[in-house]
Structure 1
Amino acid sequence: MRLPDPSTARVAGPWAHKDVSANGIRLHVAELGDGPLVLLLHGFPEFWWTWRHQVVALAEAGYRAVAVDLRGYGDSDKPPRGYDGFTLAGDVAGLVKALGASRAHIVGHAWGGLLAWTVAAMHPRVVDSVTAVSAPHPLALRRAIRQRPRGQGRASAYVFRFQLPVFPERKLTADDGAAVARMLTAWSGPKWTVSPEFDEVVRRNREAMLVPGVAHSALEYHRWAVRSQLRGDGRRFAEAVDRRLDVPVLQVHGALDPVMLESTAADSGRWAGPGSQYRRLPEVGHFPHQETPHTTSRIITEFLAAAQR
């Protein structure tokens, strides 16, 4: 099998692709529009293209929308280390500065959403607001896994299976990334999986996972999250993010999300700043920004408009 080139991630569209140096690595971004910076962080098992609808909608609403391939994904660098919460937050904060902005609205889905919460806590001077799509606060997720093992613990079981060496990488890339197709299908609301767009989404994300180095890098996020619980860096991380934010937070959550349970997301309010909102989307799974792109884009743009007043 011929493995795809990283340039697979540079999907053509109305946006411009560029490489930006931040925090000691090269990050690939897709950019469209002028105005206040909105930085979009993808989740697993995806890449920047997951935000294609929002990039266009935000640009039309008067924002500079920048979707990034996070460290280890897509056409960004894939160094052997740096998949801990501290370094990843530094990547995002450094990217804001490297893009020539002093502050940005941070929008993240799933792992990208966990990272958005983290950046706002660790680097508050570069954050104007946080939008967390399918992403509870990191400490809300940690507590839910411990306190509700039959609920969020069971929903997060895949993360623990990723702790094994080598085997998860092989499983994730076997049969041209068939595991990615299975996850996307199982984690989505049933209406989206029969939509005309879904086949293309599956195809592009399977290709993106097969880019050399991506599978291992993606799994390293999960491995650090679990293994750090028993180490000093995990305790330091918890202390660093355990603070109420000074900026408003928008939480967008699908009622049918089987990965990040709605009850876990709802427990995150204690860390959200003044003017925060929680929006529940019925009949939607783990990918609101793709399953109901127009509704999600409208909710985000309305929140950003209010956050800037």
Structure 2
Amino acid sequence: MDSEVRKLKLRTGITVPCLVEGDPDAAPLLLLHAWGESRGSFDRLLPGLAGFRIYAPDLRGQGDADKPQDGYSLAEQADDAAAILEALGLDRAAVLGSSSGGYVAQQLAVEHPEVVAALVLVGAPLSLQGRPPFADDVDRLSDPVSGDWVRDSFSWYPLVQEVPQWFIEDRVRDGVKMPAHAWKRILRGLYRAVPPTEAGTIDAPTLILWGAQDGLLPRGDQDTLADRITGSALTVYPDAAHLVLWECPDRVAADATSFLGSLPGLS
């Protein structure tokens, strides 16, 4: 399989690495990772997405991307995503976002609808407005961020299914790579933003995947999200919690492939 990591210089002024994998003639699929993670969080998903041309960047402040002091509002994060597509020479792509990456994907679809062919929202919020209970822990962070702190932070999102230890340790390494200012400012950019579906309209075909044991995102919010995106489909995983991508990568890949393959121009 064709695979490489490209360094992309974005018009927004930063440089990010982007994994490019799959048949160059296949339908393009942009993967947006969650806060505190990296493109590596999709490692267990990728084998199930073999029918697509995958583009998986590290986002600003995370992974091996540049980590400037600013540029972390939700709107700026969405602008980065649009700039990534531009730097890749893509006019349009389907977008899959995990957790807060799905929030960025929604904002991208609102602000730059012309570049979003379809959305797959995996454990993604309707709204993050209001200061979350763990924000105080984040505000107390200083450099260097410790692996123990990152590992302890996973308790904010309890797992239902077993996840391989190597994958969890990779996510610890993701967190340690982030400076304290990135942890803080990305989170603030998320919870201070007007929710995307209140700021505008999403017209892209959308699949919403949600774990029924999610203690962070209530079912009612997912129903509202589905109602606000005309023609969207909500699939509930009864045996998963918030970290759907971590717990159910095979099922997420299968459902995303089936959904996107049913859309004209994306099969």
Match of 2:145 in 1: 173
Distance 2:35 2:79 in 1: 19
1:27 and 2:21 matched: no
1:96 and 2:53 matched: no
Residues 45 and 249, structure 2, Cα contact 8 Å, conserved in 1: yes
CA-CA distance at 1:238 after TM superposition: 5.4
CA 1:270/1:160 → structure 2, altered by over 3 Å: closer, same or farther?
farther
1:206 and 2:172 matched: yes
Provide, for residues 37-74 of structure 1, a one-character-per-residue CA deviation record: whole Å limited to 9, x for no partner.
Answer: 1110111332111111322322x22x111111110001
1:222 and 2:182 matched: no
SS, match of residue 181 in structure 1:
helix
CA-CA distance at 1:87 after TM superposition: 1.1
Out of 101-110 and 28-37, give the one that drifted further.
28-37
Residues 14 and 66, structure 2, Cα contact 8 Å, conserved in 1: yes
Match of 1:3 in 2: none
Match of 1:250 in 2: 207
1:64-143 matches, cutoff 5 A: 64-138=53-127, 141-142=128-129
Residues 32 and 56, structure 1, Cα contact 8 Å, conserved in 2: no
Match of 1:191 in 2: 161
Distance 1:239 1:288 in 2: 21
Distance 1:161 1:223 in 2: 13
Distance 2:234 2:98 in 1: 15
Residues 110 and 134, structure 1, Cα contact 8 Å, conserved in 2: yes
Distance 2:262 2:179 in 1: 37
Gaps of 5+ in 2: none
CA 1:210/1:14 → structure 2, altered by over 3 Å: closer, same or farther?
farther
Match of 2:246 in 1: 290
2:126 maps to amino acid: H
2:33 maps to amino acid: H
1:298 maps to amino acid: A
Provide, for residues 131-186 of structure 1, a one-character-per-residue CA deviation record: whole Å limited to 9, x for no partner.
Answer: 11111233xx43xx6xxxxxxx8xx3113553x3xx2346x923xx2232233355
CA-CA distance at 1:82 after TM superposition: 0.1
CA 1:103/1:14 → structure 2, altered by over 3 Å: closer, same or farther?
closer
CA 1:214/1:259 → structure 2, altered by over 3 Å: closer, same or farther?
farther
CA-CA distance at 1:120 after TM superposition: 0.0
CA 1:179/1:111 → structure 2, altered by over 3 Å: closer, same or farther?
same
TM-score, with length taken from structure 2: 0.88
Gaps of 5+ in 1: 1-12, 146-152, 229-233
Number of matched pairs: 262
1:187 maps to amino acid: Y
Distance 1:117 1:57 in 2: 23
Residues 17 and 31, structure 1, Cα contact 8 Å, conserved in 2: yes
CA-CA distance at 1:303 after TM superposition: 0.9
Provide, for residues 256-293 of structure 1, a one-character-per-residue CA deviation record: whole Å limited to 9, x for no partner.
Answer: 1222233322221233133x110111121122222111
Match of 2:134 in 1: 158
Distance 1:95 1:241 in 2: 25
CA-CA distance at 1:96 after TM superposition: 0.8
Calculate the aligned-residue CA RMSD, in Å: 2.4
CA 1:24/1:186 → structure 2, altered by over 3 Å: closer, same or farther?
closer
SS, match of residue 301 in structure 1:
helix
Distance 1:78 1:113 in 2: 21
CA-CA distance at 1:239 after TM superposition: 8.0
- Structure 1 stretches of 4+ with a deviation exceeding 3 A read 159-162, 237-241
Distance 2:3 2:46 in 1: 8
Distance 1:96 1:258 in 2: 33
1:158 maps to amino acid: F
Residues 21 and 54, structure 2, Cα contact 8 Å, conserved in 1: yes
